[in-house]
Amino acid sequence: MVMADMPYIGPGLWVRIQHRFGPRMMEWFLAGHTALWGYVLLMPVPLFDQPAWSTFRAIFRNEDLLGWLMVMLGILRIIGLIVNGARKHVTPRIRQVSAAIGCLIWVGIIYCYASSNVVSTWLAIYPLFAIGELVNIKRAAHDEREARNGKAR
């Protein structure tokens, strides 16, 4: 049975999600990381009092605001990936938009850390996340082109 012929419910749904998870693993990883990054901000530790977080404090004023925003964006992206992975006909546009938002998030985080003039491990992490999101945008655009024009090259 070809994947396109599998039913939308039952085992076919699970097979479809599993089949699509591998190529989209970086999207899942970054969605989870977004939510977990926000969760860390919600912990009872005053992160914004540290020098590396000075620009975050100037922009958001409150760790809880940024924390909840990041948790919600991460969860929304995960929901979008689940829905997209379960659908018989994929909607790459959701993935493109969420990856673009993700790229803006990581670039914003890079900006805030860079503005603090504190050199730390952020320099080795978040730029790669932003680049990863650009790759995710390209992959989703490729999937959209295949969905629209067929898989023939």
pTM of the model: 0.81
Report how far residue 107's alpha carbon sits from residue 117's, in angstroms, rounded to the nearest whole number: 16
The identity of residue 18, as a single letter, is: Q
The contacts of residue 32 (CB under 8 Å, 6+ apart) are: 74, 78
Instruction: Dump pLDDT digits (tens) for 90-147.
Output: 678 888 999 999 999 999 999 999 999 999 999 999 999 999 999 999 998 988 887 7
Give the 3-state secondary structure of residue 91. Answer: coil
Mean pLDDT, all residues of the chain:
86
Q: Please state, for a pLDDT cut of 70, what percent of the chain lies above it.
A: 79
68 CB-side CA count, 13 A: 4
Tracing tokens 């989209």 back to the chain, one arrives at 24
